[in-house]
Amino acid sequence: MVALLCYGNGTLLDMAAIAHMCKLCVLINHGNTFLEPRYFTDPQLSNCLEQLTTLHARCSNLMATRLPELVSALESRPEYLTSALREVSSCTMFCEAHDSLFVMHDSSRMYHARSG
């Protein structure tokens, strides 16, 4: 998210910067799916959800500001959006594996809590 916020100042320099920003936008919006309280149950992480939610709101504001530039660039180079969406599909496979491990870890902790 911080990488996207770096694009908040000035104009986008070139098409490579626009392609990178597009990927970041797609990945950040996809990552918002996982900003759920169930992932932040550890007391040491109690502040993280609020911080991540604030960062996501700042990114959304930046994306709204840059939308005309992005749309204009994507009209001439739609493959940038395809590439950005491809990143999500590869990330989704990792996230599904991570989610399975998270569930297994929670189940294991519950089992130990019951047996102990």
Total domains in the fold of the chain: 1
Q: Domain range holding 89?
A: 2-115
Question: What integer pLDDT is reported at residue 113 of this predicted model?
Answer: 38
Tell me the C-alpha to C-alpha distance, in Å, between residue 28 and each of 3, 66, 85, 87, 99. 10, 15, 12, 11, 18
Question: What integer pLDDT is reported at residue 73 of this predicted model?
Answer: 86
Question: What integer pLDDT is reported at residue 52 of this predicted model?
Answer: 84
**How many CB atoms are closer than 10 A to CB 84?**
20
Q: What angle do CA 83, 28, 11 make, to 5 degrees?
A: 75
Question: What integer pLDDT is reported at residue 94 of this predicted model?
Answer: 53
Residues of the chain predicted below pLDDT 50: 98, 101-116
Question: What integer pLDDT is reported at residue 102 of this predicted model?
Answer: 46
Non-local CB neighbours of 95 within 8 Å, separated by 6+ positions: 34
Question: What integer pLDDT is reported at residue 115 of this predicted model?
Answer: 39
Question: What integer pLDDT is reported at residue 58 of this predicted model?
Answer: 92
